[in-house]
Copies of this chain bind each other. A is one copy, B any other.
Amino acid sequence: MNNQIDFYFDIISPFSYIAHKKIQIIKQNKKINFNYKPVFLGGLHKLAEIDAPAFNKFKIKILQSDCELVADKNNIPFIWNSKFPINSLYMMRGYLFVEEKLKELYLDTFYNAYWRDNIDLSDEIELTKILKSLNIDDKKFVEGIKNQLIKDQLKKLTTEAFDRELFGAPTFVANNKIFWGQDRLEYAVDEVSSN
């Protein structure tokens, strides 16, 4: 029995944040193993020749109201970040850099800071505060995200996503089937639950 769901995400993606919060609830009730797969969404969009909704001045308005609506319906605290979008490369490399046991807390903290508390994560002072709260040495963090192995790892995961024919985040893969967008999380859960 395969109860595994791959979850491709980027911290910059508001619907990935919503999916992450929904997953935390699902995990309390179901024995499903969510395999967190960080990608660099900007890079994935480039590979798939897609203009991100964040860069279309018409689409971004509905993206915002739609996120607010979905978050509200799911009782997920959400504030549209006033500095959206920012470059997520260092945050995503950071996720790969921090040790395994810290990854969930790291992700939660960054997600909450950006999509719940409207913090500008491109501001070094804010970033340093967050790293401190996680007991991460900021100098080591900066070295880590410049490490070639970490860079390569994120590139590899992003390419893997593209090779699996994904083009956005969040995307779920269950039983080799692709479920695209937070709206399909429940379908992915059904897929592995009915095994």
Contacts and interface: CB of A to CB of B under 8 A. Distances in A.
Interface of A: 48-51, 56-59, 61-62, 65-66, 69, 73, 162, 165-167, 177-180, 183-184, 187
A51 to B, nearest CB: 6
Contacts of A57: 49
B61 A56 contact: no
B165 A62 contact: yes
Contacts of A65: 177-178
A165 B61 CA distance: 8
A183 B179 CA distance: 14
A62 B183 contact: no
Contact of A62 (B66, B73, B180): B180
A192 to B, nearest CB: 15
Nearest to A183: B183
Contacts of A178: 62, 65
B58 A165 contact: yes
Contact of A66 (B58, B166, B180): B180
Nearest to A179: B69
Nearest to A72: B187
A166 B184 CA distance: 23
A158 B73 CA distance: 30
11 contacts: A48-B56, A48-B59, A49-B56, A50-B56, A51-B51, A58-B165, A62-B166, A66-B180, A69-B179, A69-B184, A183-B183
